[in-house]
Structure 1
Amino acid sequence: MNFQQLRFVREAVRNNLNLTEVAAVLYTSQSGVSKQIKDLEDELGIDLFVRSGKRLTSLTRAGTGAVEIVQRILMETENLRRYASHYSGVDSGRLIIAATHTQARYTLPKVIEAFTTEFPKVKLELHQGTPNQVATMINSGEADIGIASEVLDQSPEIQAFPCFSWSHQVIVPKDHPLLKKAPVSLEDLSHFPLITYNPQFTGRKCVDAAFSSAGLEPDFRLTAMDADVIKTYVKRGLGIGIVAEMALDGIENEGLVVLPTQGPLFGSCTTLVAVRSGVFLPSFAYRFIETFAPKLKLEDLKAA
């Protein structure tokens, strides 16, 4: 048994049992992957995977439990490397951040700029995804740090910490008729087509809850994954936009303005930063989190 065999098993699960993708990720051949997994099964005396010909179709019952052990072994191996690196005094290595588009596009640029200036030898990777995908990347060990406004606090394997609160803002073209009626209410908005985030993105539940509590049925004419797309269609007059306040950057250059409202219509949402429980993070990872969320207590993070 060797670590490479364990990595093959882990990557097979991560890549939906597609050995072609596993081979690409680990820079080897598909036949090599198959052989190493079979050698491991022979040594253990159990089948980890159900097969149809040469294709893996699912995990066996024994395989499901074995994969959890494999993931723990590899996680602790990585912890040991990071632990040694931490005490070697060398600020180098790799840091993988998983974040939603809104966070990656609007809140992280200045943070990443400051971090890369302070730690030029650290290779930084930024992976984008839905909140669920961000949580999955943290759970599986594909990412070191996750940043999103949903889901991250719902997994027992993840420690999530609130960073800052934010609200949604309403945007319209500069000549929109509702500007003459401002400040507007939820009821005013309900009479117009609306453009906002998909249900799984960027605090959409806050928007839905506000209309529901008011007994209103909004006309969500178009939904999208990110604010840049929303702003594009608002500019074309397809509807009123509802976006995260951090996405307001540069709207004046796009012919858009914030529509004044009767107070904060959609309540507040909270951006979370998350790490996997039990994972040892190098000192530069904590520095990244500290740069992103200065109000967080590092002792709470290190106890995660």
Structure 2
Amino acid sequence: MNLHQLRFVREAVRQNYNLTDAAKSLFTSQPGVSKAIIELEEELGVDIFTRHGKRIRGLTEPGRLVLQSVELIMQEIESLKRIGKEYAAHDSGSFTIATTHTQARYMLPKVVQAFMQKYPKVRLSLLQGNPKQIADMVKNDQADLAIATESIAAIDGLITLPCYQWEHVLVVPHDHPLTRSRAVSLEEIASYPVITYDAAFAGRSKIDHAFGLRSLKPDVLLEAIDADVIKTYVELGMGVGIIAGMAFDPERDRNLRAIPVGQLFGMNISRVAVKQGAYLRSYIYTFIELLAPTLTRKMVESAMRGGENYEL
């Protein structure tokens, strides 16, 4: 048994059981990959993959258990490599953050600026996607950590910690009738066309849930992942907007008024997620603490050892 065989098994699964693609990804030959997998199966005494002719189609039941062990072994190998790199150059390297547009656009700029001032030799990359996509990036070692609001706490294989709370705001032009309401209600909002986030982003599930509890079906005129887009169409008078409070800047958004509506849609918690069992370089702990000062290295390490998510 050798590491090449384990890499081939993992990559075959990642490439949807296409050995040609797996070979290309690992810069080797397809026959070599196929032979190595067969030799591993013979050594283990079980079939890892189901087959149709010469093509593999999926994992057998023992194959799923083998894959779990392979993932753990390869993760430990990557951790060993990272340990070596960190001690060779503790203040330099690469760091990849996977996050949603809202976090990247409104919450991270000041944190990233402070981090880069502290670690100018670190090459920082930002990857954007919806919550499921960014969670998969961390699980597949494409990113070191993920930051999002929506449901990443429920994804297996990730350790998540709460960063901060925020609420939605209703954005309308200054002369809009809702600015004269003492306490804006869901019924009042639903009487206007609504412009808000795409279903996968920025607490949209809580918005839909609140309306659903009151048996209201608002006319969602437009969905977007970018609050600036939402505000643009609100300024044109096309409807009322519901955005994350962090996305409203009184100086920048002078043509609009923000009305807090956390009492209607509830509070949201943005979380940082790392892969369970991953090795984090020291500057990643620093970044997490810059993002949420209460999340000290000791707390993060404790959560990772315990394998449990933390709550506020």
User: TM-score under structure 2 normalisation?
Assistant: 0.82
Offset at residue 27 of structure 1 (A): 4.2
Percent identity between the two aligned chains: 48
Contact 2:138 2:145 in 1 (8 A): yes
Match of 1:298 in 2: 297
Query: Counterpart of 1:271 in structure 2: which amino acid?
Result: S
3-state SS in 2 of match to 1:111: helix
- Counting only pairs closer than 5 Å after superposition, residues 17-166 of structure 1 correspond to structure 2 as 17-19=17-19, 21-23=21-23, 25-28=25-28, 30=30, 33-88=33-88, 90-166=90-166
Q: State the one-letter code of the partner of 1:111.
A: V
Unpaired runs of 5+ in structure 2? Answer: 305-312
For 2:271 and 2:25, the matched residues in 1 are separated by: 29
Please name the residue that 2:7 is paired with. Answer: 7
Matches within 5 A, 1:197-212: 197-212=197-212
Which letter maps to 2:186?
L
SS state at 2:216 partner? coil
SS in 2 for 1:47: coil
When the two structures are aligned, how many residues end up with a matched partner?
Answer: 303
- Residue 287 of structure 2 is matched in structure 1 by 288
1:195 equivalent in alignment to 2:180? no
Alignment-mate amino acid for residue 166 of structure 1: W
Moved more, 282-291 or 103-112: 103-112
CA 1:149–1:261 in structure 2 vs 1: closer, same or farther (change >3 Å)?
closer
Q: 1:113 and 1:234, CA in 2 relative to 1: closer, same or farther beyond 3 A?
A: same
C-alpha distance in structure 1 between counterparts of 2:86 and 2:211, whole Å: 49
Q: Evaluate the alpha carbon distance shift between residue 229 and residue 26 of structure 1 in structure 2; reply closer, same or farther with a 3 A threshold.
A: farther
User: What CA distance in whole angstroms lies between the structure 2 residues aligned with 1:91 and 1:173?
Assistant: 48
Aligned to 2:243: 243
Cα deviation digits, residues 124-160 of structure 1 (max 9, x gap): 3322222222333333433321211122222453221
Gaps of 5+ in 1: none
Query: How far, CA to CA, are the matches of 2:91 and 2:98 in structure 1?
Result: 21
Normalised TM-score (structure 1): 0.84
Cα deviation for residue 28 of structure 1 reads 4.5
Structure 1 residues 218 and 45: alpha-carbon distance in aligned structure 2, compared to 1, 3 A threshold:
same
Q: Secondary structure, in 3 states, of the residue corresponding to 1:296?
A: coil
Greater shift after overlay, 210-219 or 105-114?
210-219
Q: CA RMSD in A?
A: 3.0
Structure 1 window deviating more from structure 2 (1-10 vs 94-103): it is 1-10
